Amino acid sequence: MKRTLWIVAFLAVVGGFAGFQQYQSWSLNRKPQADPTAKPQGAESGERGAAGRAGGRRGGGEAVPVVVATAVQKSVPVQLRAVGNVEAFNTVSVKSQVTGVLQKAHFKEGQDVKLGQLLFTIDPRPLEAALKQADAALARDTAQLKNKREQLKRYAELVEKQYVSREQYDQIKTDADAAEAIVDADKAAVENAKVQLSYCYIYSPVNGQVGSLLINEGNLVRVNDGAPLVVINQVTPINVTFAVPEQHLIDIKRHMASRKLNVAANFQAGEGRPEQGILTFIDNAVDRTTGTIKLKAEFTNSERRLWPGQFINVALTLTTQADAVVIPSEAIQVGPEGQQVFVVKEDKRVELRPVSVGQTNEGEAVIMKGVAVGDQVVREGQFLLSPGSRVDIKDVAKVAGDVKGEGRRGGARGKAKVDGEDKKTAGAGDAVKSEGSGERTTASDSVGEAGKSGAENKAEAPRRRRGDGKTKSDSDARAKSASRGDS
């Protein structure tokens, strides 16, 4: 009997718990009554999304303003470009060949000098004395030679008459020959003294321009000093050396065998036309470290625009490509499939075409394949385009004029604004005061509304708690009734 009661009680508890869970599930899944005047949830955001998509479609159909260029056909030079270094045609480091005091420099630093012009004078007095000494020794030995020759002549007559022995004659003849050799040595010593004396006067060996004076007057200079007295550079003509990749060596040699190759030295923008020269030298070996071959070009440099040590852009012209299709280089875009351009069709829509580019020269690209003569390609505004986009072709000159006019109008508006600000300064204080009082009133109203909202929230909270408590009590009562009915 007790076991039966326990089983009934257990079943009653389980049934009450199941009923309570079922009631909670029913309460949560019950749908609230819909307000016929309210919009469904998400309707407003859906409308905004639809409007945005509609606006996007309208924007996609609008014409994109672009600047175009027409592909033309013309002759284009085939060039190799590199950075070259300007070198003097001749460079002479002037050094002293005698030891002495530097008396005078006969030029000014940076002056142009001619071949054979006197540059330096070194104290010549010691070498002048040495020359006089050599002349005196020559005179002495010449006099002795003359006496020996007279004596030899007399002994020749005596030996024929057998008044003297042959041995005595041979001795006199030997003395005369020795005196003649001494005179020859003295003459050589005099010549050497003259040469040494000439080294006291240093002349320019080339036409050129002198640099800084490295040793000043009054200093002692020595033979073969490490530092030169001055350096002379010949700048007319002048050389430019540059290096190109070794794969171009065969083409350079082939074209150079048939004609002289022109080399242009290009200056920065605004410095005038390039200097024109001729390729004169190809090095006899490729540089192993860089894989390049050294070349040298000669320029007349009559205006002296090229200067030793200067770095400059050079362009070696190998040949000329006739009837090449040319477009501006800025029209070429690089995509996943390589180089490509936007071509404007007759219906003012663009087509994306892959192209094969040959060479680029002075802002122009040679198109080997992909563009025909007369095609219009987009050169500005490509980033707003996609295949099939409609375009509005703008005139470059008109766009530049509009920008310039807008700049003038902007400047006029700025000036008028500055003048207006000066006139409005007096009334700014009153406006600030009225605005401050308005802000205080608005702040007071906001505080009042915030207080009211807080009071309403406080009053609403107990009602919600009471409602929740009542719902919980009803649920407990229903559960207890259900358990009694089961038992």
pLDDT surpasses 70 at 440? no
Question: pLDDT tens-digit profile of 318-348?
Answer: 998 888 999 999 999 998 889 999 999 989 9
The residue ranking higher by pLDDT, 56 or 208, is 208
Between the two ends of the chain, the Cα-to-Cα distance in Å is: 15
Comparing CA positions, the residue from 230, 250, 140 lying closest to residue 187 is: 140
Q: The whole model's pTM is what?
A: 0.59
pLDDT surpasses 90 at 106? yes
The SS3 assignment for 267 reads coil
In the chain, domain spans: 64-74+324-397, 100-122+202-224, 124-199, 230-321
d(CA 361, CA 319): 13
Q: Which residues of 115-151 are buried (b: 16+ CB within 10 A; e: fewer)?
A: eeeebbbbbbebbeebbeebbebbeebeebbeebeee
The residue ranking higher by pLDDT, 471 or 333, is 333
Query: Mean per-residue pLDDT for 374-391?
Result: 90
* pLDDT at residue number 442: 38
Report whether CATH 2.40.50.100 matches the domain 100-122+202-224.
yes
The partner residues of 202 in beta bridges, in order of sequence, read: 120
* pLDDT at residue number 426: 41
pLDDT surpasses 60 at 461? no
Query: Mean per-residue pLDDT for 373-402?
Result: 82
* pLDDT at residue number 323: 87
Number of other CB atoms surrounding residue 287 within 10 Å: 12
* pLDDT at residue number 19: 75
The dihedral sign for the CA sequence 367, 370, 376, 380: negative
Q: How confident is the model at residue 196 (pLDDT cuts 50, 70, 90)?
A: very high
Report whether CATH 2.40.420.20 matches the domain 64-74+324-397.
yes
Please, are residues 321 and 328 in contact by the beta-carbon 8 Å criterion?
Answer: no
d(CA 392, CA 61): 12
254-258: Cβ within 8 A, 24+ apart = 255/318, 255/319, 256/282
The residue ranking higher by pLDDT, 22 or 190, is 190
Lowest mean pLDDT among 94-98, 182-186, 210-214, 439-443: 439-443
The residue ranking higher by pLDDT, 273 or 89, is 89
Query: Mean per-residue pLDDT for 166-189?
Result: 92
Question: pLDDT tens-digit profile of 282-292?
Answer: 999 999 999 99
Provide the mean pLDDT of the chain: 79
Query: Mean per-residue pLDDT for 388-414?
Result: 63
d(CA 222, CA 199): 12
pLDDT surpasses 70 at 417? no
The residue ranking higher by pLDDT, 271 or 334, is 334
Query: Mean per-residue pLDDT for 109-121?
Result: 95
Per the rule left: phi > 0, alpha: psi between -120 and 50, beta: everything else, 370 is left
Map tokens 């060596």 to a residue: 249
Query: Mean per-residue pLDDT for 435-448?
Result: 39
The SS3 assignment for 14 reads helix
Please, are residues 225 and 96 in contact by the beta-carbon 8 Å criterion?
Answer: yes
Report whether CATH 3.40.30.20 matches the domain 230-321.
no
Residues of the chain with pLDDT > 90: what percent? 52
The SS3 assignment for 294 reads strand
Q: How confident is the model at residue 228 (pLDDT cuts 50, 70, 90)?
A: very high
* pLDDT at residue number 15: 79
Query: Mean per-residue pLDDT for 93-115?
Result: 94
The partner residues of 263 in beta bridges, in order of sequence, read: 277, 316
Question: pLDDT tens-digit profile of 141-173?
Answer: 999 999 999 988 888 888 888 888 888 888 989
Question: Max Cα separation, the chain?
Answer: 194
* pLDDT at residue number 226: 84
The residue ranking higher by pLDDT, 477 or 247, is 247
* pLDDT at residue number 12: 82
* pLDDT at residue number 447: 33
Q: How confident is the model at residue 436 (pLDDT cuts 50, 70, 90)?
A: very low
Q: How confident is the model at residue 236 (pLDDT cuts 50, 70, 90)?
A: very high
CA 414 and chain centroid, separation: 38
pLDDT surpasses 70 at 422? no
Q: How confident is the model at residue 408 (pLDDT cuts 50, 70, 90)?
A: low
Q: Where are the alpha helices (DSSP H) in 285-377?
A: none
The CATH number that domain 124-199 falls under is 1.10.287
The enclosing H or E element of 109 equals none
The enclosing H or E element of 30 equals none
Q: Would strands 64-70 and 391-393 be described as parallel, antiparallel, or unpaired?
A: parallel
**Sequence letter at residue 170:** D
pLDDT surpasses 80 at 413? no
Comparing CA positions, the residue from 355, 289, 292, 250 lying closest to residue 82 is: 292
Cis bond upstream, residue 237 (ω within 30): yes
